[in-house]
A and B are shown apart, each in its own frame.
Chain A
Amino acid sequence: MRILLVEDDRETAAYASRALRESGHTVDSANDGDQGFLMAQTGFYDVLVVDRMLPKQDGLTLVRRLRAEQVQTPVLFLSALGDVDERVKGLRAGGDDYLAKPFSFSELLARVEALGRRAAKPMTNGILKVGDLELNLLARSASRNGTAIDLLPREFALLEYLMRHAGQVVTRTMMLEAVWDYRFDPQTNVIDVHMSRLRAKIDKGFATPLLHTVRGAGYCLRA
């Protein structure tokens, strides 16, 4: 993917672009809001990673202006301000996701990739498919290789999120946000327990596992 990183802090910029390049993405950098705006305006990029505080033109203004000019490139805001209302402000200005500094390599990568690749849409009959696993969003039912799988409502929501982002790494915080709508660090690995239950339901008894653990990062559902 082509990624534009608008960040005035050299260290963060170097760190983030290295992380993204090592994962095979093309990264361009801008040091201030004006330069970032000019580059983003071209519509050349798949994802914009924009710091909230920038010289010349702050991140919120930059994104608002881009949206006004019909540039719809997905935006991930970076900020040292982790408050909920900062996040809400970012999303309201036209951002698509928000990541508080400092962030881990895997969190940045997972979120950028989730933004860059459009989430999978269900087929017209409301069915999401990954390999032989099917999720019927209308009937709220799941089956693998024709065998019905009994899911609790939260498990259904988790699986739906994973299937919409099939092939991508999904972090624990992304799942907590998407399924529970909370953004905090549970002290215990509660998400892992949910995932191991889900895995038992969809992978147990099948030769090829679909749900994979990505060490130090999160989970990935792929055929």
Chain B
Amino acid sequence: MPRLLRTSVFRIAAIYLALFGGSSIALLAFVFWSVTEYVKTQTESTISIEITGLAEHYRQNGLVGLRDVLAERSRNQRQSLYLLTDSSFRPIIGNLDQWPLPVEQTSGWFDFDFDRPGSPAGVHHARARHLQLAGGFQLLVGRDVQERTELLVGLRDSLSWAGLLVVVLAVAGGLAMGRNTLRRVDAIARTSQDIIAGDWSRRMPLTGSNDEFDRLAQSLNAMLDQIERLVGGLQSVSDNIAHDLRTPLTRLRTRLEATLMAPSVAPESRHALEQSIADADRLLAMFTALLDIARAESGVLRREMGPVDLAAVCRDVADLYAPTAEERSTPIRSTLPQPLIVHGHRALLAQALANLLDNAIKFSPKGGTITLTLERAGEEASVMVADRGPGIAAGDRDRAVERFTRLEESRGTPGAGLGLSLAKAVADLHRGRLILADNSPGLRAILRIPVGPSVSL
């Protein structure tokens, strides 16, 4: 919901609501006000015409004439109110029993309430005008406006409900519009995240409505196709470079191999040939490792991922390295749980773990036990390889995972400085992490892999 409130579509909807809702309410208020005014003016002009007529009648026909007219009208008119009094406001004739208000409040136009027997409302509103006639007689002409007041109250209520409905519809419309747009935008954002993480097979979803989002998605997809072609081209170029370098090296190795097989080779040459083959193997292994890292980093291998039992991988690799570790008096102690399934690349996970164990064995002092622990930590599987070697200083840990980094402490040991780089690339491929920490003394290398299909966003 808070995310919905931050969408630009929702902001547009809110502005729309303010403008549309505001003007609707102003319009409704104006309608109400003009109806009220019209009714009031209508009432007052009726009263004015009547009172002027009655005053004229009095001037021409005297009190008796006026009284007859009033008596006549009081009988027939339900809405009109009449009262004629003497100079001390004692009633003479009319359909009101008494002067409704204290005299000082009744000069010109005024409003008052009066009892109308037999009416459900009981007390009714009235609008009236007071006119002093020659001879001190007081004339009051008014109209019962109760029905009109009730009509106006009804109108006011209806208009208020209409106003509320406008606001509710505008808010609901804004939310619906926002949510729909948000869903479309989210789909695009999620796909982008997957692609950023290296899953180049993903494309923006299309709804088939050919609206602006579909057109945007189509453009993005066309752009992605283009990028994929370019990256693919680049990939094959770099693969070709590695391949091109590996090919002559392999031939070199083969030639050395073939030479070594000949029976005529002198023992001293034999040693040199064997050393050269070993060197060629190291170079080939480096090219292979570089290609592996590049592949893991590109994310294309995500296609090959599936459910992998990390416990089984740990057991396999520990088992593969166990004799080597024992030979160097650095036994591996494994603590592995029952199967722990992750969504991963089995071969690469094994290779990453092999690299970590390889390092641990290389740097452990004689008798220093290596521990391999697999456990579930929340939503992650955590594989830890801890040794009792020199460890890596806190300041060097970031650098240690870079390609070809060989820290001072490791100068005396064989290796190309690619092992941790590959482990890091494998962790990234799985949207996990490689953490290097202190084992005081020694190094803890922790590979954390999300359990289950990893979710972006």
Asked whether B316 lies within 8 Å of A182 as measured between CB atoms, the reply is: yes
Question: In the complex, which range does the number of interface residues on chain A fall in?
Answer: 20 to 34
With the chains together, A25 CA to B303 CA distance in Å?
39
Question: Inter-chain contact count A-B, CB under 8 Å?
Answer: 89
Judge if A140 is at the interface, Cβ distance under 8 Å.
no
A149-186 interface code vs B (CB 8 A; 1 in, 0 out): 00000100000000000000000000010001111111
Choose among A19, A82, A154 the residue that contacts B254 (Cβ–Cβ < 8 A): A19
Asked whether A215 lies within 8 Å of B274 as measured between CB atoms, the reply is: yes
Minimum CB–CB distance for A167 against chain B, Å: 18
Minimum CB–CB distance for A81 against chain B, Å: 9
Asked whether B250 lies within 8 Å of A104 as measured between CB atoms, the reply is: yes
With the chains together, A19 CA to B258 CA distance in Å?
9
The B-contacting residues of A in range 51-87, CB under 8 angstroms, are 80, 82-85
Question: In the complex, which range does the number of interface residues on chain B fall in?
Answer: 35 or more
- Across-interface contacts of B162 in A (CB, < 8 A): none
Asked whether A186 lies within 8 Å of B354 as measured between CB atoms, the reply is: yes
Which one, B137-145, B319-327, B429-437, is touching chain A? B319-327
Asked whether A197 lies within 8 Å of B323 as measured between CB atoms, the reply is: yes
With the chains together, A217 CA to B261 CA distance in Å?
11
Asked whether B303 lies within 8 Å of A182 as measured between CB atoms, the reply is: no
Judge if B218 is at the interface, Cβ distance under 8 Å.
no
Minimum CB–CB distance for A51 against chain B, Å: 14
Asked whether A180 lies within 8 Å of B316 as measured between CB atoms, the reply is: yes
Judge if A42 is at the interface, Cβ distance under 8 Å.
no
Contacts A15-B254, A80-B239, A216-B257 hold; do A190 and B347 have CB atoms under 8 A apart?
no
Judge if A44 is at the interface, Cβ distance under 8 Å.
no
In the complex, residue of chain A having the shortest beta-carbon distance to the beta carbon of B348 = A184
- Across-interface contacts of B292 in A (CB, < 8 A): 184
Asked whether B304 lies within 8 Å of A85 as measured between CB atoms, the reply is: yes
The A-contacting residues of B in range 242-256, CB under 8 angstroms, are 243, 246-247, 249-251, 253-254, 256
Asked whether B324 lies within 8 Å of A83 as measured between CB atoms, the reply is: no
Judge if A31 is at the interface, Cβ distance under 8 Å.
no
Contacts A180-B316, A187-B415, A188-B361 hold; do A106 and B257 have CB atoms under 8 A apart?
yes
Judge if B350 is at the interface, Cβ distance under 8 Å.
yes
Judge if B67 is at the interface, Cβ distance under 8 Å.
no
Judge if B428 is at the interface, Cβ distance under 8 Å.
no
Please report A residues at the B interface, Cβ cutoff 8 Å: 11, 15, 19, 22, 80, 82-85, 101-106, 154, 176, 180-190, 193-194, 197, 215-217
Please report B residues at the A interface, Cβ cutoff 8 Å: 239, 243, 246-247, 249-251, 253-254, 256-258, 260, 274, 277, 285, 288-289, 291-292, 295, 300-301, 303-304, 316, 319-321, 323-324, 327, 345, 347, 350-351, 354-355, 358, 361-362, 415, 419
What are 30 A-B pairs with beta-carbon distances under 8 A?
A83-B301, A84-B345, A84-B347, A85-B303, A101-B246, A102-B246, A104-B253, A104-B254, A105-B258, A176-B320, A180-B320, A182-B350, A184-B351, A185-B285, A186-B320, A187-B285, A187-B354, A187-B358, A187-B415, A188-B324, A188-B358, A190-B321, A190-B323, A193-B323, A194-B320, A197-B323, A215-B274, A216-B256, A216-B257, A216-B260
Which 9 pairs show the lowest CB-CB distances between chains A and B? A102-B250, A105-B254, A193-B323, A184-B351, A193-B324, A102-B247, A102-B246, A85-B304, A216-B257
